[in-house]
């Protein structure tokens, strides 16, 4: 049977006949979240660092990796004592962390730390402007972020992370031409830069240049699968799924979203997109479970309102 994409309005109409009374669910207040940034001695972010979070009592382990900005996040942690290990190449750091249920615990790590007195003036300025750029970017001040990261490239013309962040800010401003130029400079400085290829895939996708988007996303996936890769394979898989979805290849897209979740169970947007794919297949109960998973992971996410509206109409 040939299926087609269902627009939001059409989807809501199709689901109206399945409206049910929502049952109260136990609150997940006991779940906590650990997050932070991993950086090097000059306080530059480290991408692809592996974080292993092990609860000491049960031995249960969670693993995640840092993104291009050195950030990581792990949800679903209950209260207790955890051993947290961060590794990248031959560097590592380990500490014991006490988690309280329902809280956010920020743990930042520095690999290969040296005394501040040993940091050169140029490295210190580089650290300062890069950090200011990250803060501006997180605050949505993308013009300021671009200025800061551009200054960082003047201090270090081979700073791939600087060019990546410039590209990210330009993509947020929807200046796709400059974003493309910056992502390509990041790749020139660091040929295996997975996140930069993902950035290209995103801006090509936004411009409906699906062939270019698919090529960039495929390259990101190939690099993510390479031994020692520092990229984010789940993001590459997710991007491929989005590209396939936009091209109307729903079954293929669904496989990518499933693969994303298998690689990173807390990838909220993959749960949302998988739910939409399951609705398209008529698996409404399965879709409801995925919407619930999305709302647990991202209760205030960009698709939260839609997910809530649809989940309320689906069988449990």
pLDDT of residue 138: 81
End-to-end CA distance of the chain: 26
Give the tokens for residue 40.
């090097």
> For 107-148, what is each residue's pLDDT tens digit?
888 887 543 444 566 777 887 888 888 888 888 899 999 999
Please say whether the beta carbons of 186 and 163 come within 8 A.
Answer: yes
What pTM does this model have?
A: 0.52
Going by C-beta distance under 8 Å and a sequence separation of 6 or more, which residues neighbour residue 260? 234, 235, 237, 238, 241, 267, 270
> For 288-312, what is each residue's pLDDT tens digit?
999 999 999 988 888 888 889 888 8
Give the tokens for residue 36.
């932070």
pLDDT of residue 139: 84
- CATH match for 32-110 among 2.60.40.10, 2.60.120.10, 3.30.9.10, 1.10.3720.10: 2.60.40.10
Model confidence at 6: pLDDT above 50: no
Level-2 CATH architecture, domain 118-189: Alpha Horseshoe (1.25)
pLDDT above 70 covers what percent of the chain? 81
Give the tokens for residue 215.
């090529």
Model confidence at 231: pLDDT above 60: no
Q: What are the structural domain ranges in the chain?
A: 32-110, 118-189
Q: How would residue 187 be classed by pLDDT, with cut points 50, 70 and 90?
A: very high
Give the tokens for residue 219.
């390259």
pLDDT of residue 204: 92
Model confidence at 48: pLDDT above 70: yes
């Amino acid at each position: 049977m040939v299926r087609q994409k269902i627009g939001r309005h059409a989807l809501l109409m199709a689901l109206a006949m399945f409206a049910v009374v929502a049952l109260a669910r136990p609150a997940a207040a006991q779940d906590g979240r650990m997050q932070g940034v991993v950086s090097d001695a000059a306080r530059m972010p480290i991408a692809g660092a592996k974080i292993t979070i092990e609860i000491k009592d049960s031995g249960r382990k969670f693993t995640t990796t840092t993104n291009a900005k050195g950030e990581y996040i792990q949800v679903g942690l209950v209260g207790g004592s955890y051993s947290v290990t961060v590794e990248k190449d031959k560097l590592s750091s380990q500490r014991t962390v006490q988690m309280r249920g329902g809280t956010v615990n920020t743990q930042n790590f520095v690999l290969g730390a040296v005394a501040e007195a040993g940091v050169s003036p140029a490295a210190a300025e580089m650290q300062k402007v890069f950090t200011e750029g990250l803060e501006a970017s997180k605050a949505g001040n993308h013009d300021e972020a671009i200025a800061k990261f551009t200054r960082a490239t003047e201090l270090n013309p081979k700073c791939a992370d600087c060019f990546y962040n410039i590209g990210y800010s330009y993509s947020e401003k929807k200046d796709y031409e400059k974003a493309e130029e910056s992502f390509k400079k990041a790749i020139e400085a660091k040929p295996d830069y997975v996140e930069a290829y993902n950035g290209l895939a995103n801006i090509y996708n936004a411009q409906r240049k699906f062939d270019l988007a698919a090529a960039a996303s495929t390259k990101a996936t190939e690099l993510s699968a390479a031994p020692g890769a520092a990229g984010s394979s789940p993001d590459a898989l997710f991007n491929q799924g989005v590209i396939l979805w936009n091209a109307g290849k729903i079954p293929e897209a669904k496989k990518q979203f499933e693969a994303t979740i298998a690689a990173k169970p807390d990838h909220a947007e993959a749960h949302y997109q998988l739910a939409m794919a399951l609705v398209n297949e008529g698996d409404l109960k399965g879709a409801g479970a995925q919407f619930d998973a999305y709302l647990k992971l991202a209760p205030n996410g960009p698709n939260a309102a839609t997910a809530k509206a649809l989940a309320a109409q689906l069988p449990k």
